[in-house]
Structure 1
């Protein structure tokens, strides 16, 4: 009698355990869960890349300072300013905010002269 009850309870516990495991796997492998997991990992990877880039920039700045000190070069606080467009008459800025028709650009798809 005790032997049958033991095996019955063992089977019941095993069945409940297996059901819980299968339900968790089904939930974990659902499309919504997979998408959320992928998004979380992408955000985590992006954060790690940003930290790496920041560390690299800090190391580069430190090494550049060491090289400047070793070579006795003068360190400028800011890079030299670029010349303005007004100083160079050949350089004009293109206005891309204005629609093409107002800038004098016309295009008619029916004016093509394709030879068939």
Structure 2
């Protein structure tokens, strides 16, 4: 009797498990399920791309600082001035009316064209 009860419960549990698995697969393969999966993957890809871009920008800033220090373009402890990006569409022009010294642009003695 216990043997029959054991196999009956085992069969019932297997049937419930299989039914749940099949229903999940059917829901996943429906048009709504496929759209939800695609949307979720697109969001995940966008988040990964944002993280990658942030890491690239951080690495670029670090390397730019190292190059400025190596070339002696900035004093110790001073941050390099951000580059003006007026030529890019969709970006506001910054500090256009300020003199060069106030925009963070420095001129070296070797930078003058009349001495060359």
Aligned CA RMSD, in angstroms, stands at 2.3
Higher relative contact order (CA 8 A, sep 6+): 2
For structure 2, list consecutive stretches of 5 or more residues without a partner in the other structure: 75-79, 88-116
Could you say which residue in structure 2 is the equivalent of 1:39?
Answer: 39
Could you say which residue in structure 2 is the equivalent of 1:60?
Answer: 60
Separation of aligned partners in 1, 2:67 and 2:83: 18
Pairing 1:1-116 to 2, within 5 Å after superposition: 1-74=1-74, 75-79=80-84
For structure 1, list consecutive stretches of 5 or more residues without a partner in the other structure: 83-116
Separation of aligned partners in 1, 2:72 and 2:23: 68
Separation of aligned partners in 2, 1:71 and 1:32: 58
Query: Taking structure 2 as the reference length, what is the TM-score of the superposition?
Result: 0.58
Which has more radius of gyration?
Answer: 1
Could you say which residue in structure 2 is the equivalent of 1:104?
Answer: none
Partner deviation per Cα, 1:59-115 (whole Å, 9 max, x = no partner) = 111111111111112544443867xxxxxxxxxxxxxxxxxxxxxxxxxxxxxxxxx
1:76 and 1:9, CA in 2 relative to 1: closer, same or farther beyond 3 A?
closer
Q: How many residues align?
A: 82
